[in-house]
Amino acid sequence: MIRTDSRTTFRRVSRIALLLALVLGCLWLAGCQRGEDIPWRLTNVTGHMPDLDFRLVDDQGKAVSGKDYRGKVVLLYFGYTHCPDVCPLTLAQLHVVMQRLGPLADGARILFVSVDPARDTPPVMHAYVNAFDPRAVGLSGAPRDIESLSKRYRSAYTREPDKGDGQYEVSHSSAIYIFDRDGRARLLSTPGNAQDDLVHDLHLLLSLGGTAP
């Protein structure tokens, strides 16, 4: 018969217990990390786009910057008031999204940046955005400042030739850039995304306070 020293047995059991504890600890941590993963439905651009930063004029004629909207989840959209279809449809959709969010919508702001500052004066912008939603703010400014902001977020726009009567159209990108309460770029919504996806992700971002990892 082979006898095992009690101290040797104790050391082996202790090592096994330690290894088991380490394995269980790793599994628990992995589970926690998976649990922290946020199930975004829109395109996650966290860490791939710059923070919200600009110096423009709002629809009250007041100079504002990106820092003025810290504490709010921001939906940034480039367009113009004479847009025949895409802009009004987008703003109408965002109004419905705000309604579906209920009280949470008070923590969000829609920033509508004009790519046609020559015609979109503060009074014009104010009347336009408020016709859609009270949480919408119209922003305009010097052409160079708008161009700089557009390039910052890889948006694009071009002015079509004047038709001869002072009327013209502006072709522009139609993505919605979403920033958290700290001004960090988090999500990108495109026309291909369903309204339900936008509501889902905004609900998560607003519920998490906008400072999710």
Q: For residue range 108-151, what is the model confidence (pLDDT) as tens digits?
A: 999 999 999 999 999 999 999 999 999 999 999 999 999 999 99
Q: Is residue 1 part of a domain?
A: no
Lowest mean pLDDT among 5-14, 19-28, 60-69, 150-159: 19-28
- C-alpha distances in Å from residue 205, one per residue of 38, 105, 107, 137, 188: 9, 11, 10, 20, 13
Same domain, 86 and 187: yes
Percent of the chain with pLDDT over 70: 81
| Residue the block writes with tokens 């009270």 | 134
- Report the C-alpha dihedral over residues 207, 208, 210, 212, rounded to 10 degrees: -150
Q: Which pLDDT belongs to residue 17?
A: 40
Residue 2, in any domain of the structure: no
In this prediction, residue 209 has a pLDDT band, given cuts at 50, 70 and 90, of low
Question: How many residues comprise the chain?
Answer: 213
- Number of domains present in the structure of the chain: 2
For residues 33 and 119, membership in a common domain is answered with no
H-helix or E-strand spanning residue 139: strand 136-140
Rounded to two decimals, the pTM is 0.80
Output 37 or 134, whichever has higher pLDDT.
Answer: 134
157 or 15: which leads in pLDDT:
157
Asked if residue 33 and residue 47 are part of one domain, the reply reads no
Same domain flag for 151 and 87: yes
In a domain, 85, yes or no: yes
The pLDDT, as a whole number, for residue 206 is: 96
Residues 76 and 178 in one domain: yes
Domain containing 24 equals 7-37
Top pLDDT among 85 and 5 is at 85
Mean model confidence pLDDT for the chain: 85
User: For residue 45, what are its two tokens?
Assistant: 């651009």
Chain segment 155-171, per-residue pLDDT in tens:
999 988 887 777 899 99
Residue 212 lies in a domain: no
Say if residue 154 is in the same domain as residue 192: yes
